Each structure stands twice: as C-alpha cells, then as structure tokens.
Structure 1
Amino acid sequence: MLRKLQVDWWRTNRIGDDGLISVVKHCINLQELAFIGIYPTSSSLESIVSKCKALERLALCGLNTVGDAEIECVANKCVALKKLCIKGCPISNVGIEALASDCPN
C-alpha cells in the first residue's frame, strides 16, 4: 500500500533497473515517486509509468538518462499525473510538446 517513495542518489548509488522494476511490481499504488540522481533506463521508466496507474506526482531530477523519448512515454502512460519535475533533464521542445498534447491533467 506504499503511496510515496523518494530515492536520493547521495544515499546510495547501487540501485539499478532491477531494483526499480521490483518496486513497481510490488507497489502499484504509488501516487508520488521521486528519483534524484537515480538513473533509470527507458525500460525501467516505462515499467514504472505503465504499472503505477495512480501516479500523480513524479520527480525526475538531475537525470541525464531522461530525455524526450522518456518524457513522451510518461505523457502517454501517466493518465493521473498532475505534477512533474524534470529539473536538470535534457528535455527539448519535443518532450514539452508531448506533455502539452498527451498529458491530460
């Protein structure tokens, strides 16, 4: 029944795709998720946004692995999303346009 999870890189740098995918397999009720300095791949990010249908807040701060394609995936699959932080991510107009057109909330 976990609803909020924040993972900061400075406390651990050993969390990879397997750990992130395991979290979403068992914590599908997440409403808030924050990754700060944790580097999910497209695979783990897609798994997160596909399985966590109640996700309202997502923070992907300082992640050089999150670009336009990943933001397009978030925009397409996070139907409940109300707040998104992409500070420090290499996002261009393409990613922002996907959010504007595909993210309903």
Structure 2
Amino acid sequence: MNTFCLFISLTFLIMTILFIKKRRLEFGYSVLWSIVCIILIILSVNGEIVNYLSNCLGIIYAPAFLFLIGIMFSFIMIFYLMIIISDLKKKITKLIQVNALLDNKINERLK
C-alpha cells in the first residue's frame, strides 16, 4: 500500500512540475500542490508518522486519519477556489460595464 501511495504521490508531483513548465498552472497554485505532494510522499515513506498523528487526535484506525486530512484539504481548496471565482466574477462584471460604456461612446461619435 505504501508503495502504491508513493507512486501516486510522485506521479502527481511530476504532473504538477510538467504543468508548471507548460504554463498551464499558475505559480501560486503550483506551490500549494507541490507542498501537498511532498507531504503525501513523506506520509507514504514513513507510515509511523500517520500512526503517531492519528493517535494524537484519538483516531484508532490510521487510514481514517488520511481520509480526514483529504476531506479537510478538499474543503479548504473548494473554499479558496470559490473566493477566486467570486473575485473573477466581480472583475468580469466590471469589464462588461466598462466595455458597454466604451461601446456606447463609440456609437455616439459615429452618429
């Protein structure tokens, strides 16, 4: 199981690096995903860390701790992306308004 998790983590890290090189992933996001990949690699290599952390939180079944971390990360990522989407929506609305005003000025000058 650890070998499989390590393989998946390394594959994901390589994909992240390739997307950075192709400029399909912004630097800010790439740092986040790289950190996640490195954490997953560390947890895959040393299962004792997972056992220790799960025991500290009172979780008996260590893989359940990994699911908890994954769900928490997913919620954080969804919330962060919703903030970005909201910001982009405001910018698009502003851009549409400015474009309409400029279009109106051009049409008035052509008349």
Give the TM-score of the pair, scaled to structure 2.
0.19
Q: Pick 1 or 2: higher relative contact order, CA cutoff 8 A, min separation 6.
A: 1
Q: Which has the larger strand fraction?
A: 1
TM-score w.r.t. structure 1 length?
0.20
Which one has a bigger Cα radius of gyration? 2
Q: Per residue, is there more helix in 1 or in 2?
A: 2
